[in-house]
Amino acid sequence: MKKPWSGRFKERTAGIVESFTQSISFDSRLWKYDIEGSIAHAAMLGRQGIIPKGDSRRIIRGLKEIEDEIASGTFRFRQDLEDIHMNIETALIRKIGDVGKKLHTARSRNDQVALDIRLYLRDEIGLIGAAVKDLQKRLTEAAERHIDVIMPGYTHLQRAQPVLLSHHLLAYVEMLNRDRERLSETFRRVNVLPLGAAALAGTSLPIDREYVAKLLGFEGVMENSMDAVSDRDFALEFLADASILIMHLSRLSEELVLWSTAEFSFVELPDAFTTGSSIMPQKKNPDVAELIRGKTGRIYGSLISLLTTMKGLPLSYNRDMQEDKIPVFDAVDTVKASLSVLAEMVPRIRFNRERMAGTASDAYATATDVAEYLVRKGMPFREAHEVTGRIVLHCIEKGKRLADLDRGELKSFSPLIEEDIYPYLTAEGSIASRGSRGGTSVTEVRKQITRIKRLLRT
């Protein structure tokens, strides 16, 4: 098969070079977008009189037939044709003859591939955003079902203050909401047409880029032809978004791993989402959560890979940029799979409310409530903090909990302490008092759920 550049060369491309430079093994997944872009380009060529309208119609019919063949699985991709663009163009020429050779008028594979990957990412960002929203809904439903479950909140992985499990779960919903916002903002920068830049300098032919943008649903066109073919910021931005998103999924997964240990015993993960051991019959391993945690490194690697590829490239297009697709494709597949499996698993997790509540009452978790009680009585916070610290030390030395101290013991540390302190020494009382906006009281958590449900309807 003659190469499209064969007029300049005396020798055939070496077989080892064809194998080394081919991208059809991975860019074949862009076939739908390559055809979609080519149909719009052919329509514009005919409309502008650059090629006869009859030729434009024949090209479009041929492309649609190829589309049907690929969709049905009867199309054979060829490595010697290098990439998705040449596979489809060669098939078109074979199907409709020399008229097919007119399709590539006023474009280059440089702007063609930039178009294909933008069309691909535009669709995938929408699908990922929908998957994020689905996981948000599952977490919000779990929060609502467990609205009254008390658990210890942690800082430094040390028990800190009592919180509601629902409050804890909603923290992840908020993270995921920022992920959706980031993806939405990235979508705007993806949704700009590069086609018409040709190789790098534009074209002398009277093309209509705005018409192509309208046909393909782009919000605008890229204003600099060199930037249009050399830009991969949009792909990097997507990979950065994906890295932050998978980091949030990894944090949730890490907690599920910890909480499912015998040492925590906060959750029982569903059998269908765990595995056993090939040697230890008693084991129930949180493999799904562990794999999401592990796959996070792959997406980070994809971001660093493309950043490294792009960092030293002079303008405009360089063949190095062929390496943009594998990291993007892998990140898309990994994020979608991770979101889907978590969304299926979350509703089936069983929370051990007795264990969680019992643990929340240990380790002097209401000490901050004692300090804030003294502040309400008029004591400066720093002094209240010191007094409370002495009370905690007393409890440690006597082997008592805060709630076990009688009024006389408490009053020996400050005359401001009265009988009305006792409700604040329980986990339930502590949580009920946390009524500041965004706090962990049931009232505030219900407000959060109402607000989130409203957001998820948009």
Same domain, 117 and 98: no
Q: Which residue would you say has higher pLDDT here, 303 or 8?
A: 303
CA 378/CA 278 separation, integer angstroms: 63
Q: How many residues does the chain have?
A: 458
Report if residue 282 sits inside a domain.
yes
| Percent of the residues in the chain that have a pLDDT greater than 90, as a whole number | 90
Q: Which residue range forms the structural domain that includes residue 25?
A: 12-105
For a pLDDT cut of 70, what percent of the chain falls above it? 98
In this predicted structure, the answer to whether residue 2 has a pLDDT above a threshold of 70 is: no
Give me the active site residues, please. Answer: 156, 277
What is the average per-residue pLDDT within 6-28?
A: 79
- Annotate 363-401 with b (16+ C-beta within 10 A) or e (fewer): ebbbbbbbbbbbeeeebeeeebbebbeebeebbeeeeee
**pLDDT tens column, 286-299:** 999 999 999 999 99
Specify the higher pLDDT residue, 9 or 97: 97
Residue 158 falls within a domain, yes or no?
Answer: no
Task: Kindly list the distances between the CA atom of residue 37 and the CA atoms of 47, 90, 96, 217, in Å, as whole numbers in the listed order.
Answer: 15, 16, 19, 11
**Strand-pair partners of 285:** 275
- Assess contact for 264 and 360: CB atoms under 8 A: no
Banded pLDDT at 449 (limits 50, 70, 90): very high
- Residue 273's pLDDT band, with cuts at 50, 70 and 90, is very high
Q: Which two tokens stand for residue 276?
A: 């056993």
Long-range contacts of 403-412 (CB under 8 A, 24+ apart): 403/361, 403/366
Residue at which a domain ends, from 330, 349, 368:
349
Q: Give yes or no: residues 427 and 401 share one domain.
A: yes
140 with 277, same domain: the answer is yes
Helix H or strand E encompassing 368 = helix 367-376
* pLDDT tens per residue across span 73-84: 999 999 999 999
DSSP-derived secondary structure letter, 414 = -
Out of 315, 349, 383, a domain closes at: 349
pLDDT > 80? residue 335: yes
Say if residue 74 is in the same domain as residue 124: no
Is residue 99 located within the same domain as residue 50? yes
Type of residue numbered 445: V
Q: Looking at the predicted structure, is the pLDDT value of residue 5 above 80?
A: no
Is residue 244 pLDDT above 80, yes or no? yes
Span 343-379, pLDDT tens digits = 999 999 999 999 999 999 877 889 999 999 999 999 9
Residues 6+ apart with CB under 8 A from 383: 374
Write down which residue in 53, 83, 105 finishes a domain: 105
User: For position 278, what pLDDT does the model report?
Assistant: 87
Average pLDDT of 145-157? 96
Q: What is the mean pLDDT of residues 436-442?
A: 96
**51 shares a domain with 136:** no
Mean pLDDT value of segment 230-237:
98
CATH of the domain at 381: 1.10.40.30
Domain-embedded: residue 211: no
Check residue 362 and give its pLDDT. Answer: 77
Instruction: Give yes or no: residues 275 and 245 share one domain.
Output: yes
Max distance between CA atoms of the chain, in angstroms, equals 101
336 and 388: one domain? no
187 and 137 together in one domain: yes
Q: Where are the alpha helices (DSSP H) in 73-164?
A: 84-96, 109-145
For the domain that residue 21 is a member of, what is the CATH number? 1.10.275.10
Q: Is residue 396 part of a domain?
A: yes
Torsions phi, psi for 275 (to 5 deg): -135, 170
Which pLDDT band, with edges at 50, 70 and 90, does 7 fall under? Answer: low
6 within a domain of the structure (yes/no) = no
Q: Please report the pLDDT score of residue 277 as a whole number.
A: 86
Q: Judge whether 235 lies within some domain.
A: yes
Per-residue pLDDT at 10: 67
Residue 309 has a pLDDT of: 96
Work out the mean pLDDT of the chain and round it to a whole number.
95
pLDDT band of residue 15 (cuts 50, 70, 90) is confident
The yes-or-no verdict on residue 60 having pLDDT over 70 is yes
| CA nearest to 367, candidates 421, 324, 313 | 421
Structure confidence at residue 420 as a pLDDT band (50, 70, 90)? very high
Confidence (pLDDT) at 9: 67
The domain that holds 311 is classified in CATH as: 1.20.200.10
Same domain, 296 and 239: yes
Bridge partners (DSSP) listed for residue 275: 285
pLDDT for residue 6 is more than 70: no
Asked whether residue 30 is assigned to any structural domain, the reply reads yes
The total of structural domains in the chain comes to 3
Residue/partner pairs of 352-358 with CB below 8 Å, 24 or more apart: 352/265, 352/266, 352/267, 352/268, 353/146, 353/149, 353/150, 353/165, 355/264, 355/265, 355/266, 356/149, 356/150, 356/151, 356/152, 356/165, 356/266, 357/149, 357/150, 357/151, 357/427
Average pLDDT over residues 264-285: 92
Q: Is residue 227 part of a domain?
A: yes
Q: Are residues 336 and 409 in the same domain?
A: no
What's the mean pLDDT in 176-190? 98
My answer on whether 24 and 69 are in the same domain is yes
